[in-house]
């Protein structure tokens, strides 16, 4: 029996990247929050950084939706699970609306809009454009009959005369309403870094940019019209019963040794390591673990734990602080030698090596893995990955095809494989050297690939099982 969920929703898309989707999405969410509404944010694709901003602005954890990594039904169910209690759900697209991994548009933002049966709010960069905007709007409105353009946002509008020409052209030739016009201005942007936007949690001063964007959105966007469009859109149909979201209760470090029958997994969450899909953390809880937050910068040592999860981030930016916390690095290396299960992604791999070399400087890291890492100005691995698990690889069965994505400007150097093994054969992507990804040492698995627990449903169970086994062996 099908169920219809009446969820006000929209997807913010654009003809191409760098059109201002993130700025408009952040501003729109801030303006709606200012009206006292509960906004649930989502991000199309595997990105970590944009979701950090959307989370901070909305006050609710942003969720990733990726039709390349996830099944269509999983996307729809995950969306409903986290959006049904909200006043409105807003999905930020990625790249151009119809851009995917192939000519059919697989993995595109348009595909997400179709799966969610959601209207698209099309953001158009109108720099050096007037009447041509109508041809563009009609092209996007008619390209795929199953993708509905609910409204247009004119971005980078030069002056009032420019805006009048744009609005008049769309009104004359298109059957799509204009729901806002954002003027040019660098004050309406968020600073960049080599992997894209700067993570929201890294510098609270950058929230001043968000404040300005929100004020601009309230002034220049038709907030009432956008909200009305989302509210009046037909409901989303789903056949399966939707489970309630998982609530994570982070335990205190000084109580982690008191849980005699429940494995405790530490998660390094600080300014260096902040790239975690919320579903990955929730999956560990669902699999029977409790989580404790750890800082590689400020904690003198690890609490009593049965496993450790180190996500991605920018350890090179905080490399000096990481190096200076000698006691933490030494304690972690000692526990790894004793057999502590550790799962480390990208930045976590970099941290477990001997050194990070960046901008002419060299910084000591944990030294548990026989490798060093060098930062390069251009991406060394960027895009979706397909990996095949090799024999002996923990957390994954031999021969398992693991999907994920990589995005790193670092490369492994001086790797000595005499005391460790490669974990995966690369079928698509780059990984460590174009042929292999992942280093397996004792109970450590460190790799460039980022997985998503919605797609890799067995990962959390294997991780928790390893933590349980190590807990028993220790006792």
- DSSP assignment string, 233-252: SPPEEESSPPPPPPPP-PBP
H helix and E strand count, the chain = 13, 26
Average pLDDT over residues 427-442: 97
Angstrom distance (rounded) from CA 323 to CA 351: 10
Angstrom distance (rounded) from CA 57 to CA 217: 13
In the prediction, which pLDDT does 27 show? 94
In the prediction, which pLDDT does 193 show? 47
Please state, for a pLDDT cut of 70, what percent of the chain lies above it: 94
Query: Cα–chain-centroid distance for residue 80?
Result: 18
Please state, for a pLDDT cut of 90, what percent of the chain lies above it: 84
Q: How many CB atoms lie within 10 A of CB 421?
A: 14
Is residue 65 within 8 Å of 452, Cβ to Cβ?
A: no
Token pair 């800082």 is found at 295
Q: What's the token pair of residue 419?
A: 């005391």
Q: How many CB atoms lie within 10 A of CB 225?
A: 15
Counting Cα atoms < 13 Å in the Cβ hemisphere of 221 gives 30
Beta-bridge partners for 404: 385
Least confident of 74-78, 174-178, 239-243: 239-243
In the prediction, which pLDDT does 18 show? 86
Please return the burial class of 98, using the count of CB atoms within 10 Å of its CB with bins 0-12, 13-18 and 19+. middle
Q: How many CB atoms lie within 10 A of CB 211?
A: 11
pLDDT tens, position by position, 375-406:
999 999 999 999 999 999 999 999 999 999 99
pLDDT tens, position by position, 165-223:
999 999 999 999 999 999 987 566 665 544 345 565 555 656 777 888 899 999 999 99
Nearest to 182 by CA among 11, 19, 17, 24: 24
Mapping DSSP onto H, E and C, the string for the chain reads CCEEECCCEEEEECCCCCCCHHHHHHHHHHHHHHCCCCEEEEEECCCCHHHHHHHHHHCCCCEEECCCCCCHHHHHHHHHHHHCCCCEEEEECCCCCCCCCCCCCCCCHHHHHHHHCCCEEEEEECCCCCCHHHHHHHHHHHHCCCCCEEEEEEEEECCHHHHHHHHHHHHHHCCCCEEEEEECCHHHCCCEECCEECCHHHCHHHHHHHHHHHHHHHHHECHHHHHHHHHHCCCEEECCCCCCCCCCCCECHHHHHHCCCCCEEEEECCCCEEECCHHHHHHHHHCCCEEEEECCCCCCCCCCCCEEEECEECCCCCHHHHHHCHHHHHHHHHHHHHCCCEEEECHHHHHHCCEEEECCEEEECCCCCCCEEEECCCCCEEEEEEEEECCCCCCCCCCCEEEEEEEECEEEECCCHHHCEEEEEEEECCCCCCCEEEEEECCEEEECCECCCCCCCCHHHHHHHHHHHHHHHHC
Q: How many CB atoms lie within 10 A of CB 104?
A: 10
Confidence band (pLDDT; 50, 70, 90) for 425? very high
N-to-C CA span, the chain: 50
The overall average pLDDT reported for the chain is 93
pTM of the model: 0.92
Is residue 280 within 8 Å of 460, Cβ to Cβ?
A: yes
Cα angle vertex 14, ends 237, 163, to 5°?
120
Average pLDDT over residues 60-67: 96
Least confident of 19-23, 83-87, 105-109, 253-257: 253-257
Domains of the chain, first to last: 3-238 (3.40.50.300), 253-474 (3.40.50.880)
Angstrom distance (rounded) from CA 241 to CA 217: 37
Q: What's the token pair of residue 188?
A: 């309406």
Marked catalytic residue, from 62, 126, 346, 420: 346
Is residue 236 within 8 Å of 80, Cβ to Cβ?
A: yes
Cα dihedral angle (446, 310, 329, 339), rounded to 10 degrees?
Answer: -60
Q: How many CB atoms lie within 10 A of CB 386?
A: 15
pLDDT over 60 (residue 40): yes
Confidence band (pLDDT; 50, 70, 90) for 416? very high
Q: Is 62 a catalytic residue?
A: no
Counting Cα atoms < 13 Å in the Cβ hemisphere of 324 gives 6
């Amino acid at each position: 029996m099908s169920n219809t969920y009446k969820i006000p929703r929209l997807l913010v898309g654009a003809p191409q990247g760098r059109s201002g989707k993130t700025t408009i999405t952040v501003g729109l969410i801030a303006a709606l929050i200012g009206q006292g509404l509960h906004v649930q944010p989502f991000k199309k694709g595997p990105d970590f950084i944009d979701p950090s901003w959307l989370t901070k602005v909305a006050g609710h954890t942003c969720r990733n939706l990726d039709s390349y990594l996830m099944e269509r039904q999983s996307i729809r169910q995950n969306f409903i699970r986290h959006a049904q209690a909200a006043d409105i759900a807003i999905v930020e697209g990625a790249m151009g609306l119809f851009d995917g991994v192939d000519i059919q548009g697989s993995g595109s933002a348009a595909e997400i809009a179709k799966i969610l049966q959601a209207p698209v709010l099309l953001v158009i960069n109108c720099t050096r454009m007037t009447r041509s905007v109508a041809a563009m709007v009609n092209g996007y409105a008619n390209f795929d009959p199953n993708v509905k353009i609910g409204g247009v946002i004119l971005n980078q509008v030069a002056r009032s005369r420019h805006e009048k020409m744009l609005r008049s052209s769309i009104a004359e030739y298109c059957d799509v309403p204009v729901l806002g016009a954002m003027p040019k201005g660098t004050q309406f942007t968020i600073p960049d870094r080599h992997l894209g936007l700067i993570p929201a949690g890294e510098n609270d001063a950058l929230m001043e940019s968000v404040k300005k964007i929100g004020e601009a959105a309230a002034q220049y966007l038709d907030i009432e019209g956008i909200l009305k469009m989302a509210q009046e859109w037909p409901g989303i149909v789903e056949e399966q019963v939707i489970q309630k979201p998982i609530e994570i209760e982070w335990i205190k470090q000084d109580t982690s040794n008191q849980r005699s029958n429940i494995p405790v997994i530490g998660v390094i969450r600080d300014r260096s390591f902040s790239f975690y899909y919320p579903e990955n953390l929730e999956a560990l809880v669902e699999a029977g673990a409790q989580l404790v937050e750890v800082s590689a910068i400020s904690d003198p040592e690890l609490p009593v734990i049965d496993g450790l999860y180190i996500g991605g981030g920018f350890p090179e930016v905080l490399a000096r602080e990481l190096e200076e916390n000698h006691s933490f690095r030494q304690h972690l290396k000692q526990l790894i030698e004793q057999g502590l299960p550790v799962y480390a992604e990208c930045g976590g791999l970099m941290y477990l090596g001997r050194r990070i070399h960046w901008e002419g400087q060299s910084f000591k890291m944990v030294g548990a893995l026989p490798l060093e890492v060098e930062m390069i100005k251009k991406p060394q691995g960027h895009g979706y990955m397909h990996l095949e698990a090799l024999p002996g690889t923990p957390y994954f069965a031999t021969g398992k095809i693991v999907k994920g994505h990589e995005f790193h400007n670092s490369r492994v150097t001086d790797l000595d494989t005499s005391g460790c093994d490669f974990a995966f054969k690369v079928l698509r992507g780059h990984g460590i050297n174009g042929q292999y990804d992942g280093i397996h040492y004792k109970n450590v698995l460190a790799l460039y690939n980022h997985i998503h627990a919605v797609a890799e449903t067995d990962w959390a169970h294997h991780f928790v099982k390893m933590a349980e086994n190590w807990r028993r062996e220790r006792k």
